[in-house]
Amino acid sequence: MQQISLKLKEEVMKGVAKIPIVVDSLTPDKLFGKSESEIKAEKVWWGNRQENTGDLFEVEVDGEAGSASEVKIVLDGDLSRVKYIGAGMTAGEIEANGDVDMHCGAMMRGGKITVHGNADCWAGREMHGGELLIEGDAGANLCAMYRGEITGMTGGKVVVEGDAGECVGQYMAGGEILIKGNVDILAGLNMKGGRITIEGNAVMPGADMTGGEIIVKGKVEDMIPSFRFVEVSTLDGAQYRKYSGDLAMTEKQAKGLLYVRA
């Protein structure tokens, strides 16, 4: 195993403006096989200028790795304006100690990301595989698609210990999302496959679903008026009201399933 520690220097986020840093170049895949000095020389965008990773982060490398999957990156410092953490990664591990900015785990294909804090919007956007664990809250568009696309998450597993924002799993086609807290409006919007489980409450879940399933263990506020009640069914011991929809479309398209704790 190899551990690469990247600690954002304090002065970087000290100004009146908190200017984001884009770190999609700092994944296990891309840093595997690089020496400490090579990593320090890796370019990252800070606003409209490119900087050396070493100028923005304190960099430490411990141990050896035989492949990207043996690389673990640990991020520290104020990460609230550090974007694209683990974006596109296929292997290895990233641990972020603190709140992270947008697109964490976007386009991820493999490996694991753990966020010890909140993740801003678009975490797990267009995710295809791997694991994403967010110990705090997730912002809007968790595991959703990019504007205009008709497919969001296709695979992998995402767990949010806290609450999640609007449009969780929009256009989701596969994979699993577990939200332990509450979700804002329109979870599973345009969903066509996969499963979203919400342990807390949801508002207007399942709109324009054509497939997949949403399970709400808490209460539903403002139920979408175009779902059809099917039956009371039992999921691992508990009773749920089972709905099919969304019938704001033709009967033929409306193949989504929504379970709400009875």
Nearer to other proteins, 46 or 69 (CB): 46
| 17 forms part of the interface with other proteins (CB under 8 A) | yes
Which of 166, 183, 202, 240 binds other proteins (CB under 8 A)? It is 166
Q: How far apart are CA 128 and CA 149, in angstroms?
A: 15
Contacts of 14 (CB under 8 A, 6+ apart): none
Binding segment toward other proteins, per CB under 8 A, in 4-12, 60-68, 92-100, 164-172: 164-172
Nearer to other proteins, 2 or 141 (CB): 141
Which conformational region is residue 117 in: left (phi greater than 0), alpha (psi within -120 to 50 degrees), or beta? left
Which of 68, 204, 258, 260 binds other proteins (CB under 8 A)? It is 204
| 25 forms part of the interface with other proteins (CB under 8 A) | no
Which of 3, 97, 197, 253 binds other proteins (CB under 8 A)? It is 253
Contacts of 167 (CB under 8 A, 6+ apart): 140, 141, 142, 144, 185, 186, 187, 189
| 207 forms part of the interface with other proteins (CB under 8 A) | yes
Nearer to other proteins, 110 or 139 (CB): 139
Residues 67-126 that bind other proteins (CB under 8 A): 81, 102, 121-122
Binding mask 123-162 for other proteins (x = CB under 8 A): ----------------xxx----xxxxx------------
Where along the sequence are the contacts to other proteins (CB under 8 A)?
Answer: 15-20, 22, 45-49, 81, 102, 121-122, 139-141, 146-150, 165-167, 184-186, 189, 204, 207-208, 222, 224-228, 245-251, 253
